[in-house]
A and B are shown apart, each in its own frame.
Chain A
């Protein structure tokens, strides 16, 4: 039987189109909160028991309105540009290097949008500002299809600094996971700018658990994990976090978190990695599909 020779048809995407898209996403994300975040904040305003907490929440909504109308960044910390790619395996990038195209988009977006450039080289010594917020942090997944999905999540330093990775013993189980998350939130207090969204990555290995925790932040606020057991964990954790009393910006109150997003994946039989990544209330991310 003659060997079948089949020509794979690749879909071409121009590198310049990627640059332009990333530049737009960086600005869009920094100027406009998603409707999911706004409605979670509005909901919290209705349920928050603390008068000061309610005042903070209404100021945050006011801030979002000003940023959107005046095209000024929601927060002075315009973040590390974290870029998630889902690249169809039938896509071909032409006219340039994919990662360079993304970095160029970040550079253009942060410059054109008057966004703060916060990235420094030589982080443990000279800390020299790279002046265009590059390099971005890029995570790539290869998926079926011929599309390229680009999500940009500008990640503020205050919340990121509260991240935590704990390698639990398998016998620590569900209660162990809950304890780790509660302790992380309690110790972070007002620093990560609550009300926060808690990204939780459970399973796999140290680095994969943290990536899952970060990726969980891309989910629309409060959208439950489809697995009922995981969603139960999300709900219980959210209740217990909001019982801590930390409240909006740590001033005391019932709204410490807007949501807990957990992602779970298989782990080695000796391991139970738990990673926590915090998202401040300025939960900025936007995406496009090319």
Chain B
């Protein structure tokens, strides 16, 4: 299995190298956004309002972290179920978002939008929030503070692990993995 180091925001040229099954270690800046933040971002887009951060080329991480205990940057911070964001994702990809990190599979519409807009969906380890938090070096709420854990945080990460789940070639890690390991009943 190959692992590559990438920086976020992810360069447009790198996207073509991110094929399904490629493991990545992400360093740089990513923004958290759960379903309610997605809805608010899209309402802002609809009204032509200024967004809390420039979406162009950015990476979104679907996470609602637990509170930071004393002496820590953030609490537990693993991915939430990505399918809750599916209805909002094509719009945000059209608005410039280039990468998403979450858990679980995406809808056909999202997969098409990933191909169309040359983006990538990265899956990370659901239920490993204590481990993943170690890769988060800075965390700061930049918008929607009233949403608590659902606010948008700007995170600085170093070596954050993920695996390419949907690429610009239409590949799907979940379908491929299942096909490879399913067993016929005798």
Contacts and interface: CB of A to CB of B under 8 A. Distances in A.
A74 B80 contact: no
A158 B130 contact: no
B137 interface: no
Binding site of B, secondary structure by majority: helix, strand, loop or mixed? loop
A190 to B, nearest CB: 4
Contacts of A190: 103-105, 123, 126, 174
A245 B182 contact: yes
A127 B36 contact: yes
A144 interface: no
Interface stretch (B11-19, B47-55, B71-79, B91-99): B71-79
Interface in B14-70: 21, 36, 63-69
Nearest to B129: A76
B99 to A, nearest CB: 18
A117 B131 CA distance: 20
Interface string A262-283: 0000000000000000001110
B177 A251 contact: yes
Interface string B173-185: 1101111111111
Interface string B153-186: 0000000010100000000011011111111110
A252 B176 contact: yes
Interface in A156-170: 156-158, 161
Given A191-B104, A245-B183, A114 B65 contact: no
B76 to A, nearest CB: 4
Contacts of A115: 66-67
Given A240-B185, A250-B104, A158 B177 contact: no
A71 B133 CA distance: 13
Nearest to B177: A252
A74 B129 CA distance: 6
- Interface size on A, as a range, is 35 or more
Contacts of A161: 81
B136 to A, nearest CB: 11
Interface in A176-193: 189-191, 193
- Find the residue from B128, B131, B134 having the highest chain A CB count within 10 A: B128
Interface string A20-64: 000000000000000000000000000001111101100110110
Contact of B77 (A76, A131, A247): A76
Given A193-B103, A249-B103, A73 B177 contact: no
A77 interface: yes
A131 B127 CA distance: 22
A106 interface: no
A56 B133 contact: no
A109 to B, nearest CB: 13
19 contacts: A49-B181, A52-B21, A59-B131, A59-B161, A66-B131, A72-B66, A72-B72, A75-B78, A75-B127, A114-B67, A115-B66, A117-B148, A191-B83, A193-B103, A244-B178, A245-B179, A250-B104, A251-B163, A252-B173
Shortest 6 CB-CB contacts between residues of A and residues of B: A252-B177, A245-B182, A245-B181, A116-B66, A63-B131, A63-B128
Given A59-B161, A157-B81, 6 more contacts: A75-B78, A116-B149, A249-B125, A251-B177, A252-B176, A280-B126
